[in-house]
Amino acid sequence: MIRVRTIKITGRALTYISPNSRVSPSFPLITVTYSRSDSVRFLDSSFLVDLLQPTCDHHEDAVEYLNSNSDGAFGAPTPVLYEIYRHAAWAGGKDQLEETTEALDLVDPVPFTEPATRESALVRAKFLADGNTINEQDIMIAGVVRESGAALLTRDSDFKKIPDLDVEYYADADSD
């Protein structure tokens, strides 16, 4: 038996099938439909992990958020996708990476462009000037989000530290 879940985001459908899984009554079939609007949110890795992993503590929070915000458009900065892919490759090699890539087909990639690199550099410079630190991936994600003018959907409290970043929390902010 296989586990199937269907998620529709921004008008595209994803059917995620995990060949190593068995159907379980506790695993919900999720069907969510979204249409594009002026409300754009970029998804952080915390949200994507919580959405795609039913065993995560905040899985229901992520699903509930999507159900409550079905009029929004969603994307994922490419540094977020890198975070997800590197962990998948480390955890299960090429097979796990391919499975994760298929699962993440549900979001539109938002590239780390040259203007986003400049915005990231400004974020990092401000942190260094203030004597603060934050990981480089979060700086790159913040650069993409700030440059685009979108909001970042996360539960990572580190993003609270970044000035002029529109952050939205779908669950209590954690230190990730």
Which among 168, 175, 174 has a CA at the least distance from the CA of 66? Answer: 168
User: Hey, what are 24's tokens?
Assistant: 């379980």
Amino acid identity of 146? R
Look up tokens 């506790």; give the residue.
26
Residue 126 backbone class (left: φ over 0; alpha: ψ -120 to 50; beta: rest): alpha
Give the Cα separation of 153 and 61 in Å (integer).
Answer: 12
**Quick one: DSSP state of residue 139?**
H
Let me know: does 168 contact 152? Beta carbons within 8 Å: yes
Residue 138 in marked binding region? yes
Positions at the binding site for Mg(2+): 44, 138
